Chains A and B, each alone.
Chain A
């Protein structure tokens, strides 16, 4: 007699559901969903890293411009401002930008002969503050303008702020896309499980009448969905991994200071690698819930 025997799952029991036509559509759906989710995830994580790097770049950094047409007066004012900056306790470092570097920066707009043409070029001093609070910036600005009325202070946060906010928005948007993809995947899996129950209604009724518990029936579907989702996860993961590596290589080749911050760290990579497993788990749990809910409608 078998009554009271411990219920185990067997491969043969799992075969109770046949591989009906279209059963592996789930693999395709999961592959596509995961591919898009991984791309969105990689983009979001990289953008968040770039935004973080930009924040660190902007935090407590100033550029002082000495706008003076006559070169000698400009250099004298620059020296005076530099001396004042170096006495400020809020200033960690003040570095004058060499005129040769300035000329190189302006060369794309003014050409090679800008200096010879007598065009006024300001003197620049890069300043790193000890903190990024606005009071420190105000104190430095006040000291600089007292030292030279020709001096202007630009806080990097002022002009790079919109870029940082754009990157933050893009990162949050990627997060929202991931959540939407997960919700869509859950809905698709639940619909697929319910359709599977309907397609196998005859088989399920027989197994049910033979004394199968709801959990046993749910396990049949879980196994099926896990297999399909697993195949889809491998396919989607491999494709997305290739695409991410390709884009990462191209971003690296750009040699851009801004895009250069868009790198994936080990934690990011770990999160992306975990995503396919999360997809399979999500699919299995969604299928289980859908089947159990449907089964409870039967006696």
Chain B
């Protein structure tokens, strides 16, 4: 199984403060499902930003799709970004575009013909169960619906790597399960999924998933999965209402 991402001693520092990420090394294999956990401020979002090429590291080596992403010329980054789907925690849907137009955006950016886009968007809307809301603006959608649109936008171009930053953080447990099923079905199609989450319940629902855990910017005992701290697990259970 090929390595799709490789981090070697990666460090990230914003400004002149302490390193947000320190000596992070790991490998993501193609077609695997990864959970990224850690307390707030542990560096999860920073690590994901490095993964989806929104940020360059301060030091270390990042190999992405077999190429050194650290020295990748800026002009080649768009081509790499099109191979990565991103689900942002705050959805980042474009407010004046309909759900269908938001979902279609990656295909339009990639220059696909409108007829093909229309077909792909229809399929995607059916897949996320929002075929009836195709023309709805994000403001008129519920949080769960917005998150599903954001996921559909991230996956419509069939990315090789899907990066999701706490995609279930703003939805109820039932919706979180539905969203997880969407990620799992995409994973079954061969996409490598990296999902940052605090929700240990979700992690248990994906057997065979790998686990990366960050503490104070350092990756701790990445694989096999760490048992969750008792208090984190308890809070998850309380939050889930289980």
Contacts and interface: CB of A to CB of B under 8 A. Distances in A.
A210 B81 contact: yes
B114 A211 contact: no
Contacts of A1: 157-158
Interface in A199-233: 202-203, 205-213, 216
B54 A18 contact: no
A212 B111 contact: no
A87 interface: no
B148 interface: no
16 contacts: A1-B157, A2-B106, A2-B111, A2-B112, A3-B110, A12-B114, A15-B101, A18-B95, A18-B96, A207-B105, A210-B82, A210-B106, A210-B109, A211-B80, A211-B81, A211-B82
B112 A16 contact: no
Given A8-B111, A10-B108, A16 B78 contact: no
B223 to A, nearest CB: 28
A253 interface: no
A75 interface: no
Contacts of A205: 92
Residue in A2, A5, A213 whose Cβ sees the most chain B Cβ within 10 Å: A2
B77 interface: yes
Contacts of A8: 111, 113
A13 interface: yes
Contacts of B113: 8
**Does more than half of chain A's interface fall in helix, strand or loop, or is it mixed?**
loop
Contact of B52 (A7, A207, A209): A209
B95 to A, nearest CB: 8
Nearest to B154: A210
Interface of B: 52-56, 74-75, 77-83, 86, 92, 94-97, 101, 104-114, 153, 157-158
B183 to A, nearest CB: 19
Interface string A140-161: 0000000000000000000000
Nearest to B95: A18
A119 to B, nearest CB: 85
B43 to A, nearest CB: 18
Contact of B109 (A15, A202, A216): A216
Nearest to A205: B92
B111 A5 contact: yes
A210 B52 CA distance: 10
B94 A206 contact: yes
Given A2-B112, A211-B80, A299-B56, 5 more contacts: A3-B110, A5-B110, A7-B111, A13-B108, A213-B75
Residue in B74, B95, B109 whose Cβ sees the most chain A Cβ within 10 Å: B109
Contact of B82 (A2, A13, A202, A203): A2
A209 B52 CA distance: 8
Nearest to B156: A2
Contacts of B108: 10, 12-13
A211 B110 CA distance: 8
A213 B55 contact: no
A254 B110 CA distance: 64
A209 B86 contact: yes
Interface in A1-28: 1-3, 5-8, 10, 12-13, 15-16, 18
A244 B123 CA distance: 59
